[in-house]
Amino acid sequence: MNLEVFLLLAAALFSVGLYGALSQQSIVMLMMGLELMINALLVAGAAFWFYVSPGTPDGQVLVLVAVTVMALEMAMGFAVITALFRTRDVDMTDEAGHLKG
């Protein structure tokens, strides 16, 4: 497989994530769209790293650390959303905008 295939996959993931993030009203679906966009960036970055320096494992370590940080970030985000839903019964982005003050 060549670099263009990986970049095409990354572009497709990013496009689906962007559509999901911009078209959905649910906070959970918005976070899923953002997760897809970040995954697309990771696929593109890992593909570039593999084709620039295939002998070193630096790119793999960076992707592993990034995936771990993403998992922690999503878990914390879902915890905040769950707490917000339980206390104020808010699950849509329009309703969450009124919580500023």
Res 97: pLDDT? 64
Structure confidence at residue 59 (pLDDT): 79
**Rg of the chain on CA atoms, in Å:** 17
Q: What is the pLDDT of residues 40-57, one digit of tens each?
A: 999 998 899 888 888 888
| CATH number for domain 3-99, candidates 1.10.287.3510, 3.40.50.920, 2.60.40.10, 3.30.420.40 | 1.10.287.3510
Angle between helices 3-23 and 27-52 (to 10 degrees): 160
Is the pLDDT at 101 greater than 60? The verdict is: no
**Residue 66: pLDDT above 60?**
yes
DSSP H helical ranges for the chain: 3-23, 27-52, 58-88, 93-96
Residue 49 token pair: 């790293």
CA 99 and chain centroid, separation: 24
Q: Are 35 and 74 spatial neighbours (Cβ–Cβ below 8 Å)?
A: yes
Q: At which residue do the structure tokens 């993403």 appear?
A: 70
Percent of the chain at pLDDT > 70 equals 90
- How high does pLDDT run on average in the chain? 86
The string of pLDDT tens digits covering residues 19-42 is 999 998 888 888 889 999 999 999
pLDDT computed for residue 60 by the predictor? 83
Confidence category of residue 68, pLDDT binned at 50, 70, 90: very high
